[in-house]
Amino acid sequence: MEKMLRNFFLYLAGNKTLTKMAKKYGLKFGASRFVAGETIERAVQVIQDLNQKGIKVTLDFLGEFISKESEANEMANNTIRSIKYIGEQHLDAQVSLKLTSMGMDISDEIVMRNMRKILEVAKTYDVFVTIDMEDHTRTEQTLKIFTQLKSEYDCIGTVIQAYLYRSQKDIEQLHPLSPRLRIVKGAYKEPADVAFPNKKEVDENYKKLVRTHLLNGHFTAIATHDDAMIEYTKQFVQNHKIANDQFEFQMLYGIRPERQLELVKEGFNMRVYVPYGTDWYGYFMRRLAERPANVGFVLKGIVKK
Ligand code: FDA
């Protein structure tokens, strides 16, 4: 049943018509539990509130299925606006973005131009940029673009997904770049010929990737809500005397906020991924797919309307 619901929400997440419709109608169905708001002003309030609690942020201006150059340029300009807000208001925040929203599916030239424009501003304001990882058809291209940009800018990192068979090799290949990597389990619907179909195998690979990257001596973001992964990391860094500034825990806005605070109180660096904007639909559907228990919030949201 849980698997069926997961597939259903991942199917809905990929629906372009619903994505477009959702933009028009504002945050609905309890999406505001996971999305900070539709405007940068509202997102800034959320960041300030989290910062006051000792929680760092990575801010994402939501956007999916970009097919026109003008849309990609607008996404890039909005991301630049976020970076300027972060810098000018001295927020403890970074930004995250998706290469498809910067024009990766349109042309190499457009995505590279937008990324360099963003990274120039990020460098000026000393704001770190993480490239999110999308579905497996885009992994190769994303890592290629990341590798090129990392040779030009220091303030850039990316994401490795534990459900992909290829990830251990990718981590080893990226090692010479000393990259700051976020390790996640993976949020897309992937076929069994590219991704581990079982949670147990994904979890084992997750731990292996965390181990590899930490022992390679690089900064590692442990992005998960799973206590088993968190406890494993705590034990591992203690056993190997890895300093607190070589890693951080990351969670998504609205998920396990009390656990986020506990980790801060225990003295760990904690960063929360805060999405905002009108293009909330796909992001929201992937959150529902991860945890069908969240559907209860949706139903309550519908009833309240
Ligand atoms: P998983 O879903 O396996 O759950 C394991 C356990 O964690 C549960 O049994 C429960 O105990 C606990 N848990 C999970 N969700 C909970 C909830 N809502 N409430 C209470 N407990 C809960 N993906 C991707 O493909 N590309 C990307 O770029 C990113 N970026 C990203 C950034 C950040 C900061 C995070 C935290 C996550 C991502 N992801 C991502 C999403 C990621 O791939 C994954 O889908 C989710 O984090 C869910 O997997 P978990 O590791 O949290 O545990």
The complex's ipTM works out to 0.97
- Which CA distances in Å does 170 have to 36, 156, 188, 194, 229? 32, 17, 18, 14, 20
- Give the pLDDT of residue 229: 98
Q: Between 274 and 188, name the one with better pLDDT.
A: 274
- Per the residue annotation, which of 105, 132, 170, 279 is the catalytic one? 132
Amino acid at 66: I
Over 60: is that where the pLDDT of 121 sits? yes
Q: What's the pLDDT tens digit per position in 35-75?
A: 888 899 999 999 999 999 999 999 999 987 788 999 999 99
Give residues with Cβ within 8 angstroms of 96, minimum separation 6: 58, 59, 60, 129, 130, 131, 132, 273
- Which CA distances in Å does 280 have to 101, 106, 137, 286? 13, 22, 22, 10
List the beta bridge partners of residue 57. 93, 272
**Residue 291 among the catalytic residues:** no
List the beta bridge partners of residue 274. 59
For ligand 1, is residue 222 a contact (CB within 6 Å)? Answer: no
Phi–psi pair at 171, nearest 5 degrees = -60, -45
Which of 131, 136, 225 has the most ligand 1 atoms within 8 A of CB, as the residue to mutate?
Answer: 225
Least confident of 20-29, 145-154, 209-218, 245-254: 20-29
**Residue 132 among the catalytic residues:** yes
Phi–psi pair at 29, nearest 5 degrees = 60, 30
Taking residue 67's Cβ as centre, other Cβ atoms within 10 Å add up to: 11
Q: Domains, the chain, ranges and CATH?
A: 36-279 (3.20.20.220)
- Per the residue annotation, which of 180, 182, 203, 271 is the catalytic one? 182
Annotated binding site: 98, 133, 161, 185-187, 199, 224-225, 286-287
Phi–psi pair at 61, nearest 5 degrees = -85, 110
Give me ligand 1 centre to Cα 152, in Å: 31
Annotated binding site for FAD: 133, 161, 185-187, 199, 224-225
Average pLDDT of the segment spanning 181-188:
94
Average pLDDT of the segment spanning 268-282:
90
